[in-house]
Amino acid sequence: MLAGLIFATEDAEDRAGTLAETLPFGGLTLIEFQARLLIAAGATQIVLAVARMTPGLLGAISRIGRRGVTVDAVRTATEAVEKLHPLARVAVVADGVVTTGDTVSLLAAERGDTLLVTDDGDDRFERIGVSTAWAGLALIEVARIKDVAAMPHDYDFQSTLLRIVAQSGARQVRLPKSAEPTHGIERDSQALARWGNAIVATLMAQPERWADRYATALPSRLLLPPLLARSAPSWAFSLGAGVAGLGGLGAILSGWPAIGLVVLLAAMLLATIAHTLAWLRDEALPARVLAVAAPGLAAASLLAVGNATHVALGWALAIGALVAGGLVERIALATWPRRWWSSLTAAPIVMLPFALFGYPLVALGVAGLYAAVTLAVAIETLIENP
């Protein structure tokens, strides 16, 4: 099993009395972000080595526990040994480390004691050789922590553990050059906030299909950093998405399909932003609901345009486009979509030009044909590459 050991002992450089690990980072606190990376790498237990308990740390511990892992706070190596399974592999995260999931996964895949190292170019990293420094991540056996527990208690836990692991002949894995821009140690609140917003933006999913990528994901990535910096609540964007969605559907049903589709596209963008904010902040139920909000609004746009035609053919075209689009979404989960493929998000975009010129039936027909062609290609793709 994999466990995580995160050190949270140093104060922020510009906030006296505040632990650096509890500073805001990408909509979370730094320690929550580190725990999320460890959990994504397979950790089922998180142990926090702390110097003192603070309200911010208590809140972070509670939120980390909601992700379904065991969370324990300890002050000494002896307490850490008591909490950890004796056969566990322990991923160690130094105080103030900023990194990405790829780097943590790289280390978690190693076997035996391993230190992630880098060139000795940053005085924030602890030196372990003439020109080598510890990059703040390690993978160790519980026995190394027992070695620290056997030493005098006035020794610094993190530094002593590093020296013992290095002297035991641990393998050294160099930090990839590609990871250096997104890896470091930071304890300044403003710098950490800027760094966190940039890293979280890069971690956002980038859908392959053009409509999902450019209509919702890309604008969300651009808007997210300033929203996180202002601690924008997800519920506000959820409310905005709901109001805009109802307004857009009402406009379509009232005979203004073009205006309604534009408003619905705005509602879909607001729903995507709300989902991202909820996901970052571990708001489980809102995140699950909002994950289907944008596709749901797109599906509703088809039915609304079909109803606005006031003819049976309109309803038939709308239902056909919806069924084909839904099947495409299902198949897209089982294969790698191509950039040009249709999606439910694409439906209001495809219909908009035709709605502008007053051809709702043509709009529905084109949207349905696009989804049907995509469905046929997707089926052939699955047949050729099951």
State the Cα–Cα distance between residues 111 and 171, nearest whole angstrom: 9
The first and second tokens of residue 335, run together, are: 């294969």
Amino acid 203: pLDDT:
63
Q: What is the mean pLDDT of residues 265-279?
A: 92
Question: Is residue 249 located within the same domain as residue 219?
Answer: yes
State the Cα–Cα distance between residues 163 and 61, nearest whole angstrom: 28
Contacts of 120 (CB under 8 A, 6+ apart): 127, 129, 130, 131, 132, 133
Question: Is residue 226 located within the same domain as residue 336?
Answer: yes
Question: Is residue 179 located within the same domain as residue 291?
Answer: no
The first and second tokens of residue 92, run together, are: 């160690």
Report how many domains make up the chain.
2
Q: Which of 129-138, 198-207, 367-376 has the lowest mean pLDDT?
A: 198-207
Question: Is residue 262 located within the same domain as residue 336?
Answer: yes
Position 201 pLDDT exceeds 70 = no
Question: Is residue 248 located within the same domain as residue 159?
Answer: no
* DSSP state letters, 105-129: HHHHT--SSEEEEEES--TTSPB-S
Q: What is the mean pLDDT of residues 2-11?
A: 93
Q: Which of 197, 219, 249 is the last residue of a domain?
A: 197
Percent of the chain residues topping a pLDDT of 70: 97
pTM: 0.74
Are 3 and 47 in contact by the 8 Å Cβ rule? The answer is yes
Question: Is residue 9 located within the same domain as residue 101?
Answer: yes
Q: Which of 197, 224, 258 is the last residue of a domain?
A: 197
Q: What is the mean pLDDT of residues 218-241?
A: 85
Question: Is residue 174 located within the same domain as residue 297?
Answer: no
Closest CA to 293 of 309, 280, 278: 278
Q: Which of 152, 174, 197 is the last residue of a domain?
A: 197
pLDDT one-digit tens code per residue, 54-66: 998 999 999 898 8
pLDDT one-digit tens code per residue, 108-149: 888 889 999 998 766 778 888 778 899 999 999 999 999 999
Question: Is residue 346 located within the same domain as residue 236?
Answer: yes
pLDDT one-digit tens code per residue, 288-322: 899 999 999 999 999 999 999 999 999 999 999 99
Question: Is residue 39 located within the same domain as residue 67?
Answer: yes
CATH label of the domain that carries residue 68 = 3.90.550.10
Question: Is residue 187 located within the same domain as residue 210?
Answer: no
CATH label of the domain that carries residue 328 = 1.20.120.1760
Question: Is residue 81 located within the same domain as residue 162?
Answer: yes
Residue range of the domain that includes 169 = 2-197
Confidence class of residue 197 from pLDDT cuts 50, 70 and 90? confident
Alpha helices per DSSP H over the chain: 30-40, 55-65, 77-83, 101-108, 142-149, 157-167, 189-203, 210-211, 218-229, 234-253, 257-280, 284-291, 293-308, 312-332, 346-356, 360-384
User: How far lies 157's CA from each of 8, 71, 89, 148, 292, in Å?
Assistant: 11, 19, 18, 7, 46
The first and second tokens of residue 371, run together, are: 């989804």
